[in-house]
């Protein structure tokens, strides 16, 4: 079955440039959220100019097979959770913005793969941090 025209015109997450545009759209949503934004800006106090290339490299690894990203993402979130306990709601919101940012600008095989991977990793991360449903 063919995709509707508007969907078929959207780019897929199949090139570093498209992944970069996606990361910007995703973080525009995250950083507008009253609950999630302070985790980035105050709790982790990240420098966004250093952070973006890392997030891009991460998704380039998962979607394009690029090997540049070699950091331990789980440990980084473990440290974050130790500073401020992450909640089930944080994960639900994070994933909702990811899926919204993906669907609003992108379509295709890699876009579907990105959403599947994000869902699985968010679930695993949550389990590993022992965050129960409705814990907040």
For the annotated binding site for heme, the residues are 77
Stretch that binds ligand HEM, among 7-15, 16-24, 75-83, 107-115 (CB under 6 A): 75-83
CB of 128 to ligand HEM, least distance (A): 11
Site for ligand HEM contains 80 (CB under 6 A): yes
86 binds ligand HEM (CB under 6 A): yes
Q: What backbone torsions phi and psi does residue 127 show, to the nearest 5 degrees?
A: -65, -45
Which residues, 6 or more positions from 130, have their beta carbon under 8 angstroms from its beta carbon? Answer: none
Does residue 46 belong to the site contacting ligand HEM (CB under 6 A)? Answer: yes
Query: Hey, how many other C-beta atoms are within 10 angstroms of the C-beta on 101?
Result: 21
Q: Which of 15, 20, 25, 40 binds ligand HEM (CB under 6 A)?
A: 40
CB of 104 to ligand HEM, least distance (A): 18
Say how many residues touch ligand HEM, by CB under 6 A. 21
Q: Does 121 bind ligand HEM (CB under 6 A)?
A: yes
Binding test (CB under 6 A) with ligand HEM, winner from 28, 48, 76, 96: 76
Joined tokens for residue 63: 């979607």
Token pair belonging to 58: 């991460």
d(Cα 88, Cα 30) in Å, to the nearest integer?
16
Contacts of 106 (CB under 8 A, 6+ apart): 10, 11, 12, 13, 18, 22
Given 22, 27, 94, 97, the residue binding ligand HEM (CB under 6 A): 94
């Amino acid at each position: 079955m063919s995709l509707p025209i508007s969907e078929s015109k959207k780019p897929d997450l199949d090139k570093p440039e498209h992944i970069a545009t996606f990361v910007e759209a995703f973080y525009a949503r995250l950083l507008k959220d009253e609950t999630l934004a302070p985790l980035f800006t105050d709790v982790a106090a990240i420098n966004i100019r250093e952070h973006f290339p890392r997030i891009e490299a991460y998704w380039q690894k998962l979607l394009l097979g690029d090997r540049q990203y070699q950091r331990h993402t789980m440990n980084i979130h473990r440290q974050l959770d130790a500073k401020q306990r992450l909640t089930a709601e944080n994960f639900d919101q994070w994933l909702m913005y990811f899926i919204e940012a993906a669907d609003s600008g992108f379509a295709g095989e890699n876009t579907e793969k990105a959403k599947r991977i994000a869902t699985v990793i968010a679930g695993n991360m949550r389990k590993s941090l022992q965050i129960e449903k409705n814990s907040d």
